[in-house]
Chains A and B, each alone.
Chain A
Amino acid sequence: MAAYMDRAQNMDEKFGLNRKVRLLGPLTLSNGAQFAPLEFAYESYGTLNEARDNAVLICHALTGDHYVASTHPLTGKPGWWTRMVGEGKPIDPAKYFILCINVLGSCMGSSGPASIDPGTDAPYGMEFPVITINDMVAAQAILLDHLGIETLAAIVGGSMGGMQALAWCTMFPHRVKSAVVIASAARHSAQNIAFHEVGRQAIMADPNWQSGGYYHGDARPSAGLAVARMAAHITYLSEAGLTEKFGRQLQDRESKSFGFDADFQVESYLRHQGISFVERFDANSYLYITRAMDYFDLAEPHGGNLAAAFHGTKTRFCFISFDTDWLYPTSESRRIVQALNAARANVSFVELPSAFGHDSFLLDNPDMNRIVAGFLEAQQ
């Protein structure tokens, strides 16, 4: 009875921290399949106003989650974007109703390969359908319908979150008043796909992966996932940033070991990144979400004409890139901006200097904050 009451209360209180909801769906996926039921983990901050027009949807990156501005329950660390979201911050819960939804395919509470398939009462594993960024967005739209939010004052995302924001603007143009896209792209390049493939092969080469069916035992493909994370992590940084932080300095020793220990500081750093990642992330989710990103190409349904994807858009756009980001370089942002110019859209764009590569959007950058705050404020 108590458990039932808890659940009922959780279901009734649609807004707040650490929410979970199961919706029947179904969701028609890009591959044509129907997926149901749909589980969502999400958080909201601030109050939805009476007109229901102050909602800001924040979309998280590949290995992110819905704990955008609250303490992560597994790591105990503050939310991943507390620099951007919070009282007195650019996205302020005093002004906006802020929502962050865990993506479809994740392992942090929304439906993903580790979720229980009601048909078999076992985890989906590789029976989980291959999804796309558009599928993630279509799922988010179903949750927004459930929450009674028709239009978004803004959608804000970095990296994969930026892809979701762009997909929102092309799939539901009338539901998005403005979009902030940071360090992102309208397609995954061959180089992006190549790095993801290295990560996936590392996971699949781990004997503990067992074709994705490892959930029944204790052993996880942790070594493979850690290697995937290490490779990916390099792409999030920049040579200048790595040199500044580590150079060729040795870790806890005076001289080289002439062996394969982590002699260099950068090696221990990467190993630490890999190890801490496997504690909070599921290897199969990593496979599915990287695949979704690889399939992303906004121009593809329009014969390669990106401007056509935005034809007639009324959304205001703001793009920010970083000069040392080689994963989603400025040229990719500029390509989208030029397409939006050709579509006569209202668009702003700036490349900001930063030493820290792709990850700059997660770090303190006063210019980025000022731009996002000013851009959002402009339509108030």
Chain B
Amino acid sequence: MNDEIPMGRKIINHDAPHILRPDLAVIANNVRAGATALDIGCADGALMAAMRDQKNIDARGLEINAANVSAAVARGLAVVQGDADSDLAAYPDNSFDFAILSQTLQTTKRPDLVLDHLLRIGNQAFVSFPNFAQWRIRFAHMFRGRMPVTKQLPYRWYDTPNIHHVTIDDFRTFLKERDIKIEGEWFLSGNKLRGGGMANLLAAHAVFLLRR
């Protein structure tokens, strides 16, 4: 699945005018052209705009922050202000080819229920999250006895929106218990793709493509 981008290659070009976050670049590169997609937690619509412009995708967004929604709507995207925890029930079954949840899972009250909705609304689902088992985080915990503040998780313990930290191995276990199929997986260190070996220890970020 991840053969579109060779391992270790930079997947974003920092000279490009629209810089896409690495996990979003993975999704944009692997979503099927011409498909429909719901981007949950779409922020200012960067991924939606890239998918529209590069892959002719009919994308809709859900975003909790009003300023982000304003920015996205003003760039011509269809984005609804709402909360993944409470508003996904309004979307019918199988209404999109892809449901996308990027760096939002760890901020939801009930990630399990949000994932249920994701796989109900989309035929397939992209999920990306920062890996809480990465060595830097383990290091902060083990040797400094402090909650980690990293590039992926740049918040202090008291003001973080991230309330359900998850590791790659936790996530795999969850998928297995729920009988959810993995159709693709990508692991990131910074803006570089890396192999799956020891991903739980080494990868800062993971992207999964799932199907019920």
Contact = CB atoms under 8 A, between A and B. Distances in A.
Interface of A: 316, 318, 334, 337-339, 341-342, 344, 346-353, 367, 370-371, 373-375, 377-378
Mostly helix, strand, loop or mixed at chain B's interface? mixed
Given A348-B78, A349-B80, A349-B82, 18 more contacts: A318-B73, A338-B90, A341-B91, A341-B92, A342-B90, A344-B95, A346-B60, A347-B78, A348-B73, A350-B66, A350-B79, A351-B66, A351-B81, A352-B66, A367-B66, A371-B70, A375-B76, A378-B77
Interface of B: 60, 66-67, 69-70, 72-82, 87, 90-92, 95
Contact of B70 (A338, A342, A344, A352): A352
Interface centre among B70, B87, B95 (most CB of A within 10 A): B70
B76 A377 contact: yes
Contacts of B72: 348
Contacts of B67: 367
24 contacts: A318-B73, A334-B82, A342-B90, A346-B60, A346-B78, A347-B78, A348-B73, A348-B77, A349-B69, A349-B79, A349-B80, A349-B81, A349-B82, A350-B69, A350-B79, A351-B66, A352-B70, A371-B70, A373-B74, A374-B73, A374-B75, A374-B76, A375-B73, A375-B74
Given A341-B90, A348-B79, A370 B74 contact: yes
Contacts of A318: 73
Contacts of A344: 92, 95
Nearest to B95: A344
Contacts of B76: 374-375, 377-378
Contacts of A339: 90
B80 A371 contact: no
A314 B78 CA distance: 13
A339 B89 CA distance: 11
Given A338-B90, A342-B90, A371 B73 contact: yes
Contacts of B79: 348-350
A73 to B, nearest CB: 35
A347 B95 CA distance: 14
A151 B58 CA distance: 23
Contact of B80 (A347, A373, A377, A378): A347
A341 B62 CA distance: 11
Contacts of A334: 82
A20 to B, nearest CB: 37
B193 to A, nearest CB: 33
Contacts of A337: 80, 82, 90
Contacts of A375: 73-74, 76
B202 to A, nearest CB: 39
B74 A316 contact: no
In this complex, the member of B67, B69, B75 whose beta carbon has the largest number of chain A beta carbons within 10 angstroms is: B69
